[in-house]
Chains A and B, each alone.
Chain A
Amino acid sequence: GDSVTQMEGPVTLSEEAFLTINCTYTATGYPSLFWYVQYPGEGLQLLLKATKADDKGSNKGFEATYRKETTSFHLEKGSVQVSDSAVYFCALSGLTQGGSEKLVFGKGTKLTVNP
């Protein structure tokens, strides 16, 4: 079945450091790919998405490129801030056995940015 594997956390960085969180996926067909972010005490929010191969999603300084050849969707940011501290989830769109749309999530990577 469809699955998402993302790097284990936690990740701790200093402010202005470069961030990479790796994500690879296994899926049939051509899913859309997503990064969601969960700030402490809150639900998940969409951070960025890409719907086809070679698309680059970007938002708030974060970027990720849909790489079909390596089945990857790594999240990057050039200079992190304390406010970026959160849990980041990689996800792909898929179908349930009943034919409904669903998201398949990775386990999440907790990022802590220190001043």
Chain B
Amino acid sequence: GAGVSQSPSNKVTEKGKDVELRCDPISGHTALYWYRQSLGQGLEFLIYFQGNSAPDKSGLPSDRFSAERTGGSVSTLTIQRTQQEDSAVYLCASSLVARAGTDTQYFGPGTRLTVL
């Protein structure tokens, strides 16, 4: 079936504006992850969702960042009052099950966010 999709592919915004990034996981995948990759940096875990369980938000860098997953499928990552240091590629991944020990993560192409 189709892979993980993300939209938009590119987003340019002004400092102080809010942005929403969307992720459509692979159909049937119960686990969904958000990461960000800043220029020259490794991937940084942000948040993950597993079914109806409470999400693991331990990677969110500040309270300006939030995410939700509606109906156990599509997820939206929201960044409020964007700052220039938020500029990065935001990657979404999904896996069939997060707790099986065999949960290969499949990544989307990412959203490149540029905050001017």
Tell whether A pairs with B.
no
Q: Residues of A at under 8 Å CB distance from B? A: none
Q: Residues of B at under 8 Å CB distance from A? A: none
